[in-house]
Structure 1
Amino acid sequence: MPSSLHEGLIEVFRQRPAFAADLIAGLFELDVPAWQHARLDSGDLPDLTPTEYRADVVVTLLAGEQAVLAVIVEIQLKPDAAKRRTWPVYLTTLHARLRCPTVLLVLSPDSRSAEWCAQPIHIGHPGWELRPLVLGPQQVPVVTDATEAADNPELSLLSVMAHSQDPQRDKIFDSFLRALRTLEDEQASLYADLVLAALPIATRHHLEALMSTGTYEYQSDFARRYFFEGKAEGTAEGEARGEVRSLLAVLAARGFDVPAAARERITSCTDLDQLEEWIGRAVTIKTMAELFD
């Protein structure tokens, strides 16, 4: 799994730098100059003093070899007063280095932190006020269309993280899982790991159950390897624990109250074939007794 939510979100932009342009043009309706490709630039933004400034990600949009717009992407998980002094430095330093317009895009998965990030920064000079472009849960669109998710898996990923409690969450999950099929295994694993690490435990188990049951047509070689071969756990014992969690998640999602004796029978089972059979039954049973028949 990614070492942290912060590093995982940074890696999303490293995987596809053009995602920064998608966000500022599509969600913030910024007038983006015509460009042909996007590149990652150094996030080191030193000034003339020994102080070192380093942005999380810098994406530069180019027309030919000419930089036409630079996007500083910051992942902010909680308020940090120091950022209100360093963000303006990032913008002016990069503007001077690349000699093109620069914008600041801040991603904050937490609503309260996003509100803090969006507060204007008053520099002191008349008329100079920095208002960061902030993407919090309320600004992330609800992505339930499989085609839209496949066209922009990164936006679908953010949608899962932002709207895991939405009434349409199964459709949101479904579109995201379908989008994973369009990616190479390494990138799909990164995105799946990031989502599973960021979601609340109960929601994570529900998503794991969707990914591990064979009733969905998006079940792919990647998904089978990811769950049935125990990628997330790494050992046969860990794989069994993962199957147990998935089975209990399916039962919980379907509203079953699992009696203590049944829970003990499930949690003590280490037979992967038996657990997979129970998971398959759990999707359609009408009573708990049917699970073990």
Structure 2
Amino acid sequence: MVSSSHEAMHRIFRQEPGLFARVARKLDIPAFGTPISVTELPTDLTENHPVERRVDTLLQIEEAGGSYVLAVEAQGKPNDSKHATWAYYMTFAQEKYKLPPLLLVICKNQRTADWAARPVKFGPPQWQGLALRPLVIGPRDIPAVESLDEATRDVPMAVLSAILHSEERSVDGTLKVLAAALKAMEARDPDRAGLFEEFTNQGLDKTKAFEIWRQLLATETSFFTSSLSQELRAEGEARGEIRRATTNLLELLEGRGIPVSDADREQITSCDDLDTLGRWFRRAITATSTTEVLA
């Protein structure tokens, strides 16, 4: 099953194709130019037989030095069966689009990145006629973005950095500056900020960093627009209603002179069901003890 984290790691390149050239500059390889134009290509590389092969993201990129096809794959763990699949992607893209293909593999943990970066040769020992050499990006290749200026200048890179470093203990600093950078982008371009916030939500899903990110969004939900932010806003509104209902009930009991024990107070304040609190409030209007109210 494809995870939301997997989707975020490659879909961010569809939304921000120029990110690839900036990412590649982090590596010790000849620089790729800034795209002049980008065409999103169909990701289905299936031939007319039962085997289906679908690359995660496929882009045709034109730059000053020429054009090429960029295939982006998000890889969660080592899987030797992917080598033949990736080799197929490259040869198929070369044949179909008549352009040089390049495979970019994005990995959230360094062990997987080291595995993916190993060149793989195909053929008998006497003569291996095909070699696969993907371009691999892992946590070691993209430094953690911990400067607000840097995050604000390149929000997509900050998002990718947060996803790649999501399994590290020090990720909270990266998430804090990313939240601030997204907040600044929200004021300028709310639609674009919403997209990159959604990529962050997906990329951090099912990691320890997700709870830190969730808490950061919860402190300023009015600035963010993703589905997670809307969920947090709804939760906040529900908690507010529960607090008001709890306060109203305790004030009514106090106003009517009905003693409330510590155990009763604990039962009332720990209740998070508005229907139950409403029922207790209606009973408290005429009840003579908390036993009648909470029965």
Q: TM-score, normalised by structure 1?
A: 0.67
Q: Any unmatched runs of 5+ in structure 2?
A: 241-262, 274-295
Map 1:206-221 → 2, pairs under 5 A: 206-213=212-219, 219=220, 221=222
Percent identity for Structure 1 against Structure 2: 28
| 1:99 corresponds to 2:105 | no
Larger Rg: 2
C-alpha deviation, 1:78, in angstroms:
2.0
Rounded to whole Å, the distance in 2 between the matches of 1:172 and 1:135 is: 18
C-alpha deviation, 1:82, in angstroms:
2.2
Rounded to whole Å, the distance in 1 between the matches of 2:72 and 2:112 is: 16
Determine if contact 1:67/1:98 at 8 Å carries over to the other structure. Answer: no
Match of 2:137 among 135, 150, 159: 135
Task: Report which of the two has the higher share of helix.
Answer: 2
Q: 1:47 to 1:167 in 2, by over 3 A?
A: closer
- What letter is aligned with 1:20? F
Map 1:89-238 → 2, pairs under 5 A: 89-124=88-123, 125-126=127-128, 128-164=130-166, 169-181=171-183, 182-183=185-186, 184-185=190-191, 186-200=194-208, 203-213=209-219, 219=220, 221-223=222-224, 231-232=230-231, 235-236=234-235
Q: 1:224 to 1:119 in 2, by over 3 A?
A: closer
Secondary structure of 1:232's aligned partner: helix
C-alpha deviation, 1:198, in angstroms:
4.3
Q: 1:165 to 1:35 in 2, by over 3 A?
A: closer
Q: 1:3 to 1:82 in 2, by over 3 A?
A: closer
- What letter is aligned with 2:202? L
Q: TM-score, normalised by structure 2?
A: 0.66
Offset from partner CA, 1:127-152 (integer Å, 9 cap, x none): 64222111122222111122221232
RMSD: 3.8
C-alpha deviation, 1:112, in angstroms:
2.4
C-alpha deviation, 1:220, in angstroms:
7.4
Determine if contact 1:46/1:53 at 8 Å carries over to the other structure. Answer: yes
Q: Any unmatched runs of 5+ in structure 1?
A: 214-218, 242-260, 272-293
C-alpha deviation, 1:173, in angstroms:
1.6
Rounded to whole Å, the distance in 2 between the matches of 1:270 and 1:27 is: 52
Q: Which moved more, 1:36-45 or 1:19-28?
A: 19-28
Secondary structure of 1:231's aligned partner: helix
* 1:274 aligned partner: none
Rounded to whole Å, the distance in 1 between the matches of 2:78 and 2:210 is: 26
* Equivalences, count: 241
C-alpha deviation, 1:235, in angstroms:
4.5
Rounded to whole Å, the distance in 1 between the matches of 2:36 and 2:77 is: 35
Determine if contact 2:9/2:160 at 8 Å carries over to the other structure. Answer: no
Determine if contact 2:38/2:61 at 8 Å carries over to the other structure. Answer: yes
Rounded to whole Å, the distance in 2 between the matches of 1:225 and 1:16 is: 18
- What letter is aligned with 1:134? V
Secondary structure of 1:72's aligned partner: strand
Q: 1:46 to 1:123 in 2, by over 3 A?
A: same
* 1:247 aligned partner: none
C-alpha deviation, 1:207, in angstroms:
3.1
Determine if contact 1:45/1:53 at 8 Å carries over to the other structure. Answer: yes
Q: 1:206 to 1:37 in 2, by over 3 A?
A: same
Determine if contact 1:46/1:52 at 8 Å carries over to the other structure. Answer: yes
Q: Which runs of 4+ in 1 moved over 6 A?
A: 224-227
Determine if contact 1:20/1:73 at 8 Å carries over to the other structure. Answer: no
